[in-house]
Amino acid sequence: MRTVYFTDGTAEGFFSAVFDAYGDKGAFLTSSDAFQAALDDSFVRVPPSPEKAARVVKKLEALDRGCLWEIDCILRTPEADREQAAFLYIRLLTEHKGPVRGMLSRPEVRRARELAERVGQERHRLTGFLRFRETADGVFYAPCTPDNDVVELLMPHFAARFKTFPFVIHDLKRKLAGLCDGRNWTVVPAPEAELVLSENEDEFEALWKKYYRTVNIPSRRNIRQMKGYMPVRYWKFLPEKQDDSP
C-alpha cells in the first residue's frame, strides 16, 4: 500500500514532506492533482513547515553540497513526478551517506540528472535567447514562456551585466516577473504588462534583423541544424525570427 504525500508545490513544502515521509517505504510525493491514484492509496496533505524543511536542507548540505542545486532544478520542471524524482534521489543519497550523481546505473540517479540538466539547459539557452526591448521610461523588458520555472535562475546572470538601467524578465506562462533596479532583484507575481516602447526600439530591431539576414551564408543553408540548436518554441520573442515561418 502506498501513501501519497501532497505538498503545496513550494520547495519548503517539498522538504517538509521529505521530513514526514522519509521513514515510509511506500511514500509517494507529489504536488500535482493530475497524478494517477490507485484504489488502495491513502492520502496525507503536508503543510509547509519551515523548521522541518530547514532540518532536511541542513542534513543534505552536510551530505552533498551540490545536491541542493540539482533538487532546486528538479522542482522547477513541470513534470508530474518531480517531487517523487527528487525524493528518491535524496533517499539514495542519504542511504549512501554521500554524493551519488555518478551512479548512473541507478534509475533514480538518471531521472534526477535528466530533469536537473533539462532545467540547466533551458536556463543556459535563455541567457542567449531572451530579448529585451526598451520602454519609453528606460526599463528593458524581456517576455518569455519557458518550459521550466527559470526566471529566478536567470536574474543573477542579467543583474551582473545590467547595472545602469532597470530590467524585467516576465514569464507570461507562470505570470511572474523578475524585477531588477540595477542593484537588487526580486521575483513577483505579474499577470500582464503594458508596453510603451522607446523611440529607439524600432531602429535597433530593424538593424538587428538586417544583421541576422546578412550574416547568413545562403549556399550553406542548414535549417535542420539551426532548429536543432534553436528550437522553434523559442522563436516567439526573437525579432529576427518574426518574418520566418517555422
Tell me how many residues contact other proteins (CB under 8 A).
Answer: 64
For residues 153 and 181, the answer to whether their CB atoms sit within 8 Å is no
- Give 160 or 196: the residue with its C-beta nearer to other proteins: 160
Give least dist CB 192 to other proteins, A.
Answer: 16
Give least dist CB 64 to other proteins, A.
Answer: 9
Cell of 102: 555518478
Query: In the beta sheet, which residues pair with residue 188?
Result: 177
By CB under 8 A, tell whether 203 contacts other proteins: yes
Q: Interior CA angle at 208 toward 171 and 144, to 5°?
A: 5
Q: Is 236 helix (H, G, I), strand (E, B) or coil?
A: helix
Give least dist CB 158 to other proteins, A.
Answer: 8
* Beta pairing class for 42-45 and 3-6: parallel
Give least dist CB 174 to other proteins, A.
Answer: 20
Choose one: 3-11, 48-56, 71-79, 210-218; the region binding other proteins (CB under 8 A): 210-218
Q: Is the dihedral of CA 73, 79, 82, 85 positive or negative?
A: negative
Q: Is the dihedral of CA 43, 84, 63, 76 positive or negative?
A: negative
- Give 36 or 219: the residue with its C-beta nearer to other proteins: 219
Restricted to residues 98-137, the positions that interact with other proteins (CB under 8 A) are: 99, 101-105, 107, 110, 124, 127-134, 137
Give least dist CB 13 to other proteins, A.
Answer: 27
Neighbouring residues of 74: CB distance < 8 A, sequence distance ≥ 6:
82, 85, 86, 89, 112, 115, 116, 119
Q: Which residues bind other proteins (CB under 8 A)?
A: 66, 99, 101-105, 107, 110, 124, 127-134, 137-140, 142, 158, 160-166, 179, 181-183, 198-200, 203-204, 206-208, 210-212, 214-226, 228-230, 238, 240
